[in-house]
C-alpha cells in the first residue's frame, strides 16, 4: 500500500487508539489488525534508534538496525508475554540487532583494511568541522566563566602546555598552589560543562519526522505485504 494511502487509512484509527496501552495495541495487531503496528513504531522509534546508535555510533547503521528490530518484533509478536513493558522487550531486540551488526562488521574487516585506514585517515567533513567548532565554543564559554585565578592556571597548563614550574613562575605562585588551583579548575569546569550539556541531552541523536517516516514506511510495507 503506498504511503499516502496507508497514512489515510490509519488516520481515523490513530485517533481512536491514542490512549490505548502498548499491550492493547499488541493484542489488536495479533488479532489481525496489522496496520496498527505503526502506532507502536511511532511511539518507540526514538528510543529504539538511540539504543542502536549508542552501540553502532553510525546513523545509517542505526537506522538499518532499527528497521531490522521492528521486523523481528512483528514476526515474533506472539512471543511478547507482557512480563515486561513492550518498550523494554523492543529495546532488547534492538540491542541484539545492533550487536549482531557490530559482529558482522568486525568479521568483514580485513587486516589490510585496518592498515589502510591507519595510513590514510579521511579528513573531517563539513559536519565534523562544524561540530568541532561548536564543542570549542562550548569549552571557551565554560572556561570564561571560571574564576580568574583558576582560569589563568587552567589555560597555561592545559591550553598552552606549560608545566607546573613554568606556570608557577609566570603567575608568581608556589607550585603547590598551581596544582591545587588546577585541580579545582578542572572540577569546576567539569561541573559547568555537565550543567550546560545536561539540558541538551534529551535532544541528542534525534530520530526526526522524515527519518521516522522512512523507517515506518519500510517496515509497514513488509508488514502489510500480501503473503502467498
106-136, pLDDT tens digit by residue? 666 555 554 544 444 555 666 566 656 777 7
pLDDT, tens digit (0-9, with 9 covering 90-100), for 7-65: 444 444 544 777 899 999 999 999 999 999 999 999 999 888 888 888 888 888 989 99
99 lies in the same domain as 150: no
- Among the candidates 81, 108, 135, a domain finishes at 108
Q: What is the CATH number of the domain that holds 181?
A: 1.10.10.10
What percent of the chain clears pLDDT 90, i.e. is strictly above it?
29
Confirm if 154 and 179 have CB atoms less than 8 A apart. Answer: no
131 lies in the same domain as 96: no
Among residues 108, 143, 166, the one where a domain terminates is 108
In a domain, 117, yes or no: no
Segment 141-159 shows an average pLDDT of 86
Task: Look up the pTM and report it.
Answer: 0.58
66 pLDDT band (50/70/90 cuts)?
very high
Tell me: pLDDT of 165 over 50.
yes
Q: Is 40 exposed, middle or buried (0-12, 13-18, 19+ CB in 10 A)?
A: buried
Claim to verify: residue 86 and residue 131 sit in the same structural domain? no
Residues 26 and 77 in one domain: yes
Domain assignment of residue 136, yes or no:
yes
Asked which of 45, 75, 108 is the last residue of a domain, the reply is: 108
Give the domain range for residue 168: 126-203
Q: In sequence order, what DSSP letters do the residues of 71-133 get, joined into one string?
A: HHHHHTGGG--SSS-HHHHHHHHHHHHHHHHHHHHHHH--HHHHHHHHHSPPPP-HHHHHHHH
Query: What's the structural domain count of the chain?
Result: 2
Which 8-state DSSP code applies to residue 146? S
Place of cell 489488525: 33
**CA 179/CA 156 separation, integer angstroms:** 12
Question: How many Å apart are CA 43 and CA 91, to the nearest integer?
Answer: 13
C-alpha distances in Å from residue 24, one per residue of 18, 20, 71, 134, 141:
11, 6, 19, 44, 49
**Residue 75's pLDDT band (cuts 50, 70, 90):** very high
* Residues 14 and 98 placed together within one structural domain of the fold: yes
Give domain status of residue 176, yes or no.
yes
Sign for the CA dihedral angle at 70, 71, 76, 77 comes to: positive
Rounded CA separation 89/83 (Å):
9
Grid coordinates standing for 38? 505503526
Same-domain check for residues 103 and 132: no
Amino acid at each position: 500500500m503506498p504511503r499516502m494511502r496507508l497514512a489515510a487509512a490509519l488516520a481515523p484509527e490513530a485517533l481512536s487508539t491514542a490512549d490505548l496501552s502498548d499491550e492493547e495495541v499488541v493484542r489488536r495487531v495479533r488479532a489481525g489488525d496489522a496496520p496498527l503496528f505503526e502506532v507502536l513504531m511511532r511511539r518507540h522509534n526514538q528510543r529504539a534508534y538511540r539504543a542502536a546508535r549508542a552501540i553502532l555510533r553510525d546513523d545509517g547503521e542505526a537506522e538499518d538496525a532499527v528497521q531490522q528490530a521492528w521486523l523481528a518484533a512483528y514476526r515474533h509478536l506472539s512471543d511478547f508475554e507482557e512480563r515486561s513493558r513492550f518498550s523494554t522487550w523492543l529495546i532488547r531486540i534492538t540491542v541484539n540487532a545492533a550487536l549482531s551488526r557490530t559482529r558482522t562488521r568486525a568479521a568483514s574487516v580485513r587486516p589490510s583494511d585496518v592498515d589502510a585506514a591507519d595510513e590514510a585517515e579521511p579528513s573531517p567533513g563539513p559536519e565534523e568541522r562544524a561540530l568541532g567548532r561548536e564543542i570549542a565554543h562550548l569549552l571557551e564559554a565554560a572556561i570564561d566563566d571560571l574564576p580568574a585565578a583558576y582560569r589563568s592556571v587552567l589555560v597555561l597548563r592545559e591550553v598552552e602546555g606549560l608545566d607546573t614550574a613554568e606556570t608557577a613562575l609566570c603567575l608568581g605562585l608556589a607550585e603547590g598552589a598551581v596544582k591545587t588551583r588546577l585541580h579545582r579548575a578542572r572540577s569546576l569546569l567539569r561541573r559547568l560543562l555537565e550543567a550546560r550539556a545536561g539540558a541538551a541531552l534529551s535532544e541528542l541523536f534525534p530520530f526526526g519526522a522524515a527519518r521516522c517516516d522512512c523507517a515506518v514506511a519500510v517496515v509497514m510495507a513488509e508488514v502489510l505485504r500480501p503473503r502467498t
